[in-house]
Amino acid sequence: MRGTAPRPRVHNWERILNWSELRSGLRAQLARILEALVAKIYRGTRSRADFINQLTSVAERLGIEPAAVKVRPLAGSRTGMAIEFSVGGQTIRRSCDSQPTKDQNFACLVLWFQALVRNVERRIEQLDEAFRAEGFKALPANAGEAERYGSTHVSYYRGNMSPEQARARIGSALGRLGLTMNDCRVEWSEDPLHARLLLRLANGRIVQKVSDRQETAVQNLAALALWLETRALNYERGIEQDFDRLFAANLLPAGREA
């Protein structure tokens, strides 16, 4: 009986989805979605001590005493880790169990925390937006700067990212979420000074994100690109596992078009 040579392992989702009845555009979109569903393993080489020091630094930037940040194994998980802290009078709890080891899950938590605090420092997000998925209650419209941004120091984006580069980075982040620029609209203007991103999710919900605190319209656009990149990275790492949590503070009411 003639043996059959084993098929080589296929790593490209578009080659796996080789059904002739699917049009190429749909096949490519499904490929992006499947890639986004696979948690990205953190493969950094920094030590646990390095991340403890980084967590201390990030907490201090937010005005939190490092000793008040609780780090513990995630109950019911072999490798998951959890952190807990209070900011703005509200308790934030976050866990990660998408990585194969406790140290990798802890690293992802620290990187998640750092990215959100950086966004708050840049004034891309307020506290109630950054931590909405963790239950941070929406602030009133007349909330002061301290309520909105805690004890963070302002650190606006002052890079020289061009509109073309910002749009390319937005497109790349969308691809990591299984979306395309066809699902998105971006606009920016000097009068009034702002940039806005509108994103239609597969379930039909609309995400709206506005940046209006940077010094120029193009810098506001760049801030949006950086904001979306952090969201995409957290989704890849499995810290966030569904879009309703990922964009918790930016979803327009169901049925509402921007």
In a domain, 79, yes or no: yes
pLDDT at 179 over 70: yes
Per residue, the 3-state secondary structure of 207-249, as one string, reads EEEEECCCCCHHHHHHHHHHHHHHHHHHHHCCCCCCHHHHCCC
CATH code assigned at 184: 3.30.160
Q: Are residues 95 and 183 in the same domain?
A: no
Tell me the pLDDT tens digit for each residue of 138-165. 999 999 999 999 999 999 999 999 999 9
In a domain, 27, yes or no: no
The pTM of this model reads 0.81
pLDDT at position 14 is 46
Q: Are residues 197 and 242 in the same domain?
A: yes
| Nearest Cα residue to 207 out of 169, 257, 171 | 257
| Nearest Cα residue to 228 out of 136, 166, 182 | 166
In a domain, 191, yes or no: yes
- How many domains does the chain fold into? 2
Lowest mean pLDDT among 8-17, 199-208, 213-222: 8-17
In a domain, 238, yes or no: yes
Bond prior to 163 in cis (omega within 30° of 0): no
| Distance from the first to the final alpha carbon of the chain | 65
Q: Among the three residues 84, 115, 149, which one is the final residue of a domain in this structure? A: 149
198: containing domain: 163-246
pLDDT at 41 over 50: yes
Q: Are residues 90 and 133 in the same domain?
A: yes
pLDDT at 201 over 70: yes
Q: Are residues 52 and 144 in the same domain?
A: yes
CA distance 236 to 111: 13
Q: Among the three residues 92, 123, 149, which one is the final residue of a domain in this structure? A: 149
Q: Are residues 130 and 53 in the same domain?
A: yes
pLDDT at position 10 is 42
